[in-house]
Amino acid sequence: MSEYMGQENPLLIIISGPSGVGKDAVIDELKQRKIPFHFVVTATTRSKRPDEVHGKDYWFYTPEEFYQLLKSGELLENAVVYNNSYGVPKHDVRDSLNRGEDTILRIDVQGAAHIKREVPNALFIFLAPPTFEALINRLGNRNTETPESLNRRLNTYQVEMKAIPTFDYVVINYESRLAETVDKIIAIITAEKLRTHPRRVKL
């Protein structure tokens, strides 16, 4: 058998991009299609939105609880995004990779840059809106933002788009074409599993 066959390294897949671009929708669709992967639920101090579930969308913690996690060195990455703290539980990522499962992380662009320094062999996918206006529409429709926080999110957008060249792939999430976006992400994952030199991730 060729030495190139049978190499099954779990991938650490970072799905990033501007806030409101549709990262959660993409991940939900991957789950719907029963694509096998482990989704890392990140921790946050942000308050829960009505449709969110503790332990599924986020671990919702008080600032004190979050600080305890941070102090114990248990966060692979943490950041303040729009005045709330977010962090990636390290043990969850490590355990999942040790089980041999492809592992998906949904984080903002500054978080992705941090992970890139820590784990350069992860697979970095940037999800982009087709236009600035499309992102404004999506954020506006979400009805959960104050005009002030909307403004802040939009200012960050331009800085975040400049980070695209540091990613491995960029996928545009066109309005009402989620299936196509997810098809492209699955194609990327499929191709990555056929590499002659697989990404080996160490935590």
Q: How far apart, in whole angstroms, are the C-alpha atoms of residue 74 and residue 146? A: 32
The verdict on 107 binding ligand 5GP (CB under 6 A) reads: yes
Of the candidates 109, 87, 105, 88, the one whose C-alpha atom is nearest the C-alpha of residue 17 is 109
- 138-177 mask for ligand 5GP (x: CB under 6 A)? ----------------------------------------
Q: How far apart, in whole angstroms, are the C-alpha atoms of residue 20 and residue 75? A: 24
Q: How far apart, in whole angstroms, are the C-alpha atoms of residue 180 and residue 140? A: 23
The verdict on 113 binding ligand 5GP (CB under 6 A) reads: no
Amino acid at 137: N
Q: Cβ 24 to ligand 5GP, closest distance in Å?
A: 7
Strand partners, 124: 14
The verdict on 42 binding ligand 5GP (CB under 6 A) reads: yes
Q: For ligand 5GP, which stretch binds (CB under 6 A), given 27-35, 59-67, 77-85, 120-128?
A: 77-85
Q: How far apart, in whole angstroms, are the C-alpha atoms of residue 122 and residue 112? A: 10
How far are the Cα atoms of 49, 112, 140, 163 from residue 145, in angstroms, in the given order? 11, 23, 8, 24
Among 11, 66, 104, 111, binds ligand 5GP (CB under 6 A): 111
The verdict on 46 binding ligand 5GP (CB under 6 A) reads: yes
Q: For ligand 5GP, which stretch binds (CB under 6 A), given 4-12, 62-70, 79-87, 182-190?
A: 79-87
Q: For ligand 5GP, which stretch binds (CB under 6 A), given 66-74, 100-108, 131-139, 194-202?
A: 100-108
The verdict on 129 binding ligand 5GP (CB under 6 A) reads: no
Among 66, 108, 128, 199, binds ligand 5GP (CB under 6 A): 108
Q: Which residue has its beta carbon closest to ligand 5GP?
A: 111
Token readout for 26 is: 């993409």
Provide the pairing of β-strand 103-106 with 12-16: parallel
